[in-house]
Amino acid sequence: MNEEADQLRLCHIDDIAEGEAKGFLVNDDGNDTFFIVKSEGKLFGWFNSCPHIDGAPMAWRKDAYLNAKRSHIACHAHGALFEPKTGLCIQGPCVGKTLESVTIKVNLDGHAWVLLSDIRKNKN
């Protein structure tokens, strides 16, 4: 498969405000496969799976991946808080563990994308 056909275009970097998150569905299981967070002008990608219980979705509703202050990623099922740039758990039952990252690439015109093969490889 060539790389261009393998790319999934997500959004423009300006479509996500600072301190916001957006989920993306790649599989057909009804839950977002991964989500991205904008922090300090950069996009960070994470699989939608809490390390406390493998496979447990983190958002309680669509795109609700952050705490009320929008300062940290939150697993609303377990109360865990994670650093948005590193995925490190700083509070909750999985302190010291990290979220599994998704490589987000932003091209020169500001569009963010991922390689579908990377998503499928990491979640199989």
For 37-86, how does the pLDDT look when each residue is reduced to its tens digit (9 = 90+)?
999 999 999 999 999 887 788 988 899 999 999 999 999 988 999 999 99
| Residue 99: exposure state from Cβ atoms within 10 A (0-12, 13-18, ≥19) | buried
Task: Write down the domain spans for the chain.
Answer: 3-123
Q: May I ask the CATH architecture of the domain 3-123?
A: 3-layer Sandwich (2.102)
pTM of the complete model: 0.89
The Cα–Cα gap between 47 and 52 comes to: 13
